[in-house]
């Protein structure tokens, strides 16, 4: 028991000391890896599609991690929350790259088709809504807006639950058939969202 406590304190101390700029650097690795793979011709016959898909999937994974930090912290009694902003912002960074890849390399700025795609194709519309919902969250993910908005800040940032839900469906609908990893992501998202619902209910119950 004493040993476990020691390990626990050790990890907690280590985590407190991690410099966030190293975390940012670490999270650029998926993008760097993509560039290396591209340069070595490892992305196959249609590199654009691989890049587009990989950027989107990385963004979704990071968003899932962002939302997992609070339940994991509670479960382990180790505070991972200080990583949340960096990972959330890096997720948004990958979403921006994903969107730009789609707009420039995939759609090639054919604006009429871009508009038709967004309005007529449900899976693209959902991705777009998710992206737009996350913009104000990215803008306010800093100390300045946290102070300025006060209580409203945490309310505003609940939008992330809606955004991740749409992103999960966006990923599910992308494939022509049901793909296992998309289903797994979606189940994790549902789990994370249900944990939040339980928490919200408890808070309301206490009031």
Partner 1 sequence: MKPNNDKITPKHLYMNRRKILKIGLFLSSMIALNKISLIQANEIFDRKINTFEEITNYNNFYEFGVDKTDPAKYAHKLNTSPWTVEIAGMVENPGIYSFDEIYNEMDIEERIYSLRCVEGWSMLIPWNGFQLSNLLNKVGVKDGAKYVGFETLFRPEEMHMQKTKVLQWPYSEGLRIDEAMHPLTLMATGVYGNPLPKQNGAPIRLIVPWKYGFKSIKSIAKITIQKTEPNSSWNIQNQKEYGFYSNVNPNVHHPRWSQASERYIGGEGEGFLGNLFTKRYDTKIFNGYKEVASLYDGMDLAKYY
- CA–centroid distance for 144 within its chain: 22
User: Does 103 participate in binding partner 1 (rule CB under 8 A)?
Assistant: no
Rounded to 10 deg, the angle between the 111-120 and 122-139 helix axes is 100
Size of the residue set binding partner 1 (CB under 8 A): 29
User: Does 44 participate in binding partner 1 (rule CB under 8 A)?
Assistant: yes
- CA–centroid distance for 65 within its chain: 7
Sequence-distant (≥ 6) Cβ neighbours of residue 25 within 8 angstroms: none
Task: Return the range that interacts with partner 1 (CB under 8 A); candidates 59-67, 84-92, 171-179, 198-206.
Answer: 171-179
Task: Indicate the residue among 87 and 169 with the shorter CB distance to partner 1.
Answer: 169
**Residue in 5, 13, 77, 108 binding partner 1, rule: CB under 8 A:** 108
User: Does 110 participate in binding partner 1 (rule CB under 8 A)?
Assistant: yes
Sequence-distant (≥ 6) Cβ neighbours of residue 173 within 8 angstroms: 122, 123, 126
- Residue 83: DSSP 8-state: G
* Residues in touch with partner 1 (CB under 8 A): 38-39, 41, 43-48, 51, 105-108, 110, 112-113, 116-117, 120-123, 173, 175-179
């Amino acid at each position: 028991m004493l040993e476990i406590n020691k390990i626990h304190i050790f990890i907690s101390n280590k985590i407190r000391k991690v410099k966030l700029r190293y975390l940012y650097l670490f999270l650029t690795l998926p993008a760097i890896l993509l560039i290396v793979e591209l340069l070595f011709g490892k992305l196959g016959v249609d590199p654009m599609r691989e890049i587009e898909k990989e950027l989107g999937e990385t963004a979704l994974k990071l968003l899932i991690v962002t939302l997992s930090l609070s339940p994991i912290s509670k479960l382990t009694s180790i505070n991972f929350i200080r990583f949340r902003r960096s990972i959330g912002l890096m997720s948004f960074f990958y979403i921006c790259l994903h969107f730009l890849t789609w707009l420039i390399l995939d759609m090639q700025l054919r604006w009429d088709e871009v508009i038709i795609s967004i309005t007529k194709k449900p899976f693209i519309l959902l991705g777009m809504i998710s992206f737009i919902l996350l913009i104000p969250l990215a803008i306010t993910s800093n100390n300045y807006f946290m102070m300025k908005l006060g209580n409203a800040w945490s309310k505003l940032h609940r939008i992330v639950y809606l955004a991740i839900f749409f992103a999960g469906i966006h990923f599910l609908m992308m494939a022509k058939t049901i793909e296992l990893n998309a289903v797994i992501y979606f189940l994790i998202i549902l789990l994370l969202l249900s944990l939040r619902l339980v928490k919200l209910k408890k808070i309301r119950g206490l009031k």
